[in-house]
Every structure is written in C-alpha cells, then in structure tokens.
C-alpha cells in the first residue's frame, strides 16, 4: 500500500515512513524478509545517503530511539567527536571566538557507519551485507533526482563548488535537476567494502586514509587516529508526561531536553486549538525550552533524514542521520563519494559548557523521539531540519496528544518556526489571527530569515503510530520526497 494522496496510511502488521520512496521500499523489503525494525532502518538510511546526499551520508552522524518489545526503551548516540588536534586556542583566535558554519575546524568524526554496525550487532536479524544491497545498487546504477532534493542541490550549489572533492562528486559544473539521473560509483564501492568487512572498512585502512587526506587538503584536523578511536554508546531516554502521553527524547549532547522542557511548561495548560493565543503560549514555551537547552546542553543550529518504523513484533525505532548543514562542511572525499559533516559549528565559544575541546562531542540537533501510552509504544517520530527539530516535535506532539489529530493531518498542518527568540516565521496557511496574536505578544515576523539560503525551512516529519484498534498508522511529510508504506 502506498500512502494515499490524502490521509494516513493504515497497516496491520508493519509500517515505515521515510524520506524517499526508494528508502521506504528498502525498509519494507528487509521487513518482508523477516528483518527487524533495525534491519529495515539501516537499509533505509543507507539508501537516504545515496539519494539525498546534501542531507545525510557516511560522512555524518546517526542517532536512534529504540523501543524493543519487552525491554526498556533506550537510545543510541552515534555522534562523532572533535578531532584530538582541535584546541580552544584555535577557536578563540577565530572572529567572534566561534567556529563558523563551514569552516575546516567544523569537521567532526563521522559516526553513522559505526552506528549501523553497533545497532545491527545488538538488534539485527538479517545478514548485514544484504541490508546495504539496495543502496549499493542505486549508487552504482543511478537514480532520478527528486524535486525537493534538486531544489536544495541548486540552493547550495556554491558549497559544492567551493571544494574540489565535492565539485567532482556532486557535479558542481552541472548541478542535477529534478529527474536527472545521478550515480555515485565511488560510494557504491565504499558501501560494498563496508558490507563485506564491517565498520573497520570505514574507520581504518584506505578509507580512513582518504578521509584524512581530504581533511588535510582543506585545512581540517580530522586524522586517521580520530577515526580509529570513534565509538558510539547506548543511553536512557529522557521522559516527560504530556496530555496522556509520555514523550521520550534523547539525552545530551542533543537538545531533546529542550522539547521536554517546553512540554513541561505546557502540561497543565488548557490549549484550545482554535484560539490564536494558544499558539502564542506554545511558541513561548518552545522558545524558553530551547533557551534552557542552549544554556545547559550547548548552542544550536542542519539537515537530517528520519526513518520511523514499527515491525511485526512491535519493535519501534526512529533512526535519524545527518551531515548537519546541506552538504556538511562541503569538504568532499572523491575516492569515497562522500562529504564530511560540519557538526563542530555546534560548539559554543571557549569557556561555555559547550565550548570546543579535543575529543568532545558538540551540541547536536538530531533528536529521534517516541511516545508511550500507558507504558506501551504509541508512536515513533522525528522532524528533520536543524533548529526546526525541537519546534516540530512540540507542534506534532500538541496536535496528536492535546488536539487528537491523525498522523498525516498533524504532519500536514502549517507550522511556525522561531528564527530568533523574538521572531517567528509562519508557514503558508497558518490559522487566522495567529500572526496578529504573535505580534501583540512582541514577536516580529521572521519570514525570510531562515537557514535555507534565507528561506524558512519548516522541516520534514516521519511518524508511525499505534491506532486505538492496535493497527498501525503512518505518515510522511509532503515537504520532502518521502512516503509511508505498510502491510
């Protein structure tokens, strides 16, 4: 079943929502072969790195929210650390004492590949190599570039052209348009080596040497020792009750606690849906929650992909991967067909709790999430789009928990986005009276102040939810190229 042009996909046994039809197909195929939700999520995530290269890939990080049946929920933190050679003094010497967005010092260790293997070792059922087969085939044979993907490729063409490696990999001299065939044979080769040899094929040997060479050429500090030392870790989710649900978020170094802080502020409130003042309340709570996260976790600002899956055993997972800003640092590794992420931009100035240090993880915007009802899995979800992520969570959760909306309805509804603490951008179609109510509360119009080359990015959500009859309901955001499937 495809998701209908309108409405939520309904399924009995299993459901997937992902950012591209090829990723959804790869996940469904893995589930059909008896794979677990983790197998399916890895298959989908690998495909996303091929078909949406500005958003994610092997040069980036991975995080997951995991609800295994009969076990306590857990999270996986696959975020990489700053190179050992990064010093506070280097950052202090930069203008403003901060690492700029795509500066060579923004490059951190890619955690995604280790994340796949760690998660597969614990929760996988199928042979790992088979999970990467769809991604390998698409990278080698090529795919038709999707419309949203093409728009972003064009918007960030300057990033691609700014580095010889990225220019070669991502066709800087002829940026692909929607429908254009794009292939990445070097990435297919790399995925084949990882399929055969596991994480070592990425973190040591020729791949690690190629990454270190590309980094050094661009003035970044990432070296082979940093790659060899990388490991991810499991952790326990943070929780907060909200209108009959328990919302689960990832602990620091992510800003998931900002979402829970906002929900805690709203938990006792009556939130009438039709009243524009309700939106003001939610905006203010979200602003204050994010402020708190900036203070105690660190300092925000990305692009990500999200896959949400519930399998036939009830194993639910939200897996998110990201190279942060579109095309990450812009530094390409031509031998591997990847670019390196720029997570170091998430560090604050030296002296802050989130200040830069060798081997330290920066503040991270990727927050896979879940909701429980009466202690059981109710939903797995994520919203991509950097600083839109926590704001999108608060808006989605309000819609499903407080307002009783359906999955696709909640995803499709117009969103707002804080661009600064005192400026809010409203997506087209916002309810009447909301703009005026926000203006009365002192918020300025933040339209056009966004991080998408001056356009506001209202994110892209994926969600799978358990219906009242025990069936599954899935929705995929029309703001992206994705779809939901199930059976």
**Residue 374, φ and ψ in degrees, nearest 5:** 55, 40
- Overall pTM surpassing 0.85 (yes/no): yes
DSSP helix/strand/coil, 93: coil
* Per-residue pLDDT of the chain in tens (487 residues, 90 and over written 9): 333 345 789 999 999 999 999 999 999 999 999 999 999 999 999 999 999 999 999 999 999 999 999 999 999 999 999 999 999 999 999 999 999 999 999 999 999 999 999 999 999 999 999 999 999 999 999 999 999 999 999 999 999 999 999 999 999 999 999 999 999 999 999 999 999 999 999 999 999 999 999 999 999 999 999 999 999 999 999 999 999 999 999 999 998 999 999 999 999 899 999 999 999 999 999 999 999 988 877 544 456 899 999 999 999 999 999 999 999 999 999 999 999 999 999 999 999 888 999 999 999 989 999 999 999 999 999 999 888 999 999 999 999 999 999 999 999 999 999 999 999 999 999 998 999 999 999 999 998 877 776 677 899 999 999 999 999 999 999 999 999 999 9
Residue 312, CA atoms < 13 Å, CB-side half-sphere: 11
pLDDT tens, residue by residue, 452-482 = 766 778 999 999 999 999 999 999 999 999 9
Using the CB atoms, write b or e for 174-191: b if 16+ within 10 Å.
ebbeeeeebebebbbbbb
Q: How far apart are the first and last CA of the chain?
A: 7
DSSP code of 95?
Answer: G
DSSP 379-431: EEEEEESTTHHHHHHHHHHIIIIIS---HHHHHHS--EEEEETTEEEE-TTPP
DSSP code of 74?
Answer: E
Nearest of 162, 152, 190, 181 to residue 385 by alpha carbon = 152
> Rg of the chain over CA atoms, in angstroms?
21
- The H or E element that residue 142 is part of is none
In sequence order, what are the beta bridge partners of 305? Answer: 321
DSSP helix/strand/coil, 175: coil
Query: In the sheet where 472-476 sits, what is the strand order?
Result: 9-11, 472-476, 460-466, 376-384, 369-373, 245-249, 238-242
pLDDT tens, residue by residue, 280-300 = 999 999 999 999 988 877 544
DSSP code of 345?
Answer: G
**How far apart, in whole angstroms, are the C-alpha atoms of residue 44 and residue 28?**
9
Domain boundary assignment for the chain: 9-486
Pairing mode of beta strands 423-426, 444-445: parallel
User: Which of the following CATH numbers is that of domain 9-486: 3.30.420.40, 3.60.20.40, 3.40.50.300, 2.40.30.10?
Assistant: 3.60.20.40
**How far apart, in whole angstroms, are the C-alpha atoms of residue 360 and residue 344?**
10
Q: How many helices (H) and strands (E) does the chain have?
A: 17, 21
């Amino acid at each position: 079943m495809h998701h209908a042009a309108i409405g939520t996909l309904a399924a009995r046994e299993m459901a997937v929502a992902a950012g591209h039809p090829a990723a959804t197909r790869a996940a469904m195929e893995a589930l059909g072969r008896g794979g677990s939700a983790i197998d399916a999520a890895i298959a989908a995530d690998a495909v996303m790195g091929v078909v949406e290269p500005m958003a994610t890939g092997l040069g980036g990080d991975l995080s997951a929210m995991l609800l295994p049946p009969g076990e306590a929920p857990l999270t996986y933190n696959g975020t990489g650390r700053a190179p050992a050679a990064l010093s506070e003094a280097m950052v202090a010497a930069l203008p403003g004492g901060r690492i700029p967005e795509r500066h060579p010092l923004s490059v951190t260790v890619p955690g995604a590949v280790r994340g796949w293997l760690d998660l597969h070792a614990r929760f996988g059922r199928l042979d790992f190599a088979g999970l990467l087969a769809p991604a390998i085939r698409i990278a080698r044979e090529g795919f038709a570039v999707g419309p949203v993907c093409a728009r972003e490729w064009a918007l960030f063409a300057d990033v691609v052209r700014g580095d010889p490696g990225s220019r070669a990999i991502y066709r800087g001299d002829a940026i692909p348009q929607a429908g254009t065939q794009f292939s990445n044979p070097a990435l297919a080769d790399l995925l084949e080596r990882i399929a055969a040899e596991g994480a070592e094929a990425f973190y040591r040997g020729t791949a690690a040497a190629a990454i270190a060479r590309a980094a050094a050429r661009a003035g970044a500090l990432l070296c082979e020792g940093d790659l060899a030392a990388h490991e991810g870790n499991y952790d326990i989710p943070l929780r907060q009750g909200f209108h009959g649900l328990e919302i689960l978020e990832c602990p620091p170094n992510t800003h998931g606690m900002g979402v829970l802080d906002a929900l805690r502020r709203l938990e006792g409130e009556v939130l009438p849906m039709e009243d524009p003042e309700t939106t003001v309340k939610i905006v203010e709570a979200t602003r204050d929650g994010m402020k708190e996260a900036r203070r105690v976790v660190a300092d925000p600002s990305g692009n990500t992909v999200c896959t949400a899956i519930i399998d036939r055993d009830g194993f639910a997972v939200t897996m998110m991967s990201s190279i942060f800003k579109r095309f990450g640092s812009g530094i390409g590794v031509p031998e591997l067909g990847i670019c390196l992420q720029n997570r170091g931009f998430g560090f604050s100035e030296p002296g802050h709790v989130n200040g830069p240090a060798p081997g330290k993880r920066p503040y991270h915007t990727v927050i896979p999430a879940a909701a429980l009802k009466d202690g059981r899995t109710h939903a797995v979800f994520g919203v991509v789009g950097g600083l839109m992520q926590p704001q999108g969570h608060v808006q989605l959760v309000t819609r499903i928990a407080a307002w009783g909306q359906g999955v696709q309805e909640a995803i499709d509804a117009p969103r707002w986005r804080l661009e600064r603490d005192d400026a809010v951008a409203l997506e087209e179609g916002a309810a009447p009276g909301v703009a005026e109510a926000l203006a009365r509360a002192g918020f300025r119009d933040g339209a056009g102040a966004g991080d998408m080359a001056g356009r506001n990015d209202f994110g892209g959500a994926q969600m799978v939810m358990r219906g009242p009859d025990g069936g599954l309901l899935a929705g995929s955001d029309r703001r992206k190229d994705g779809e939901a499937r199930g059976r």
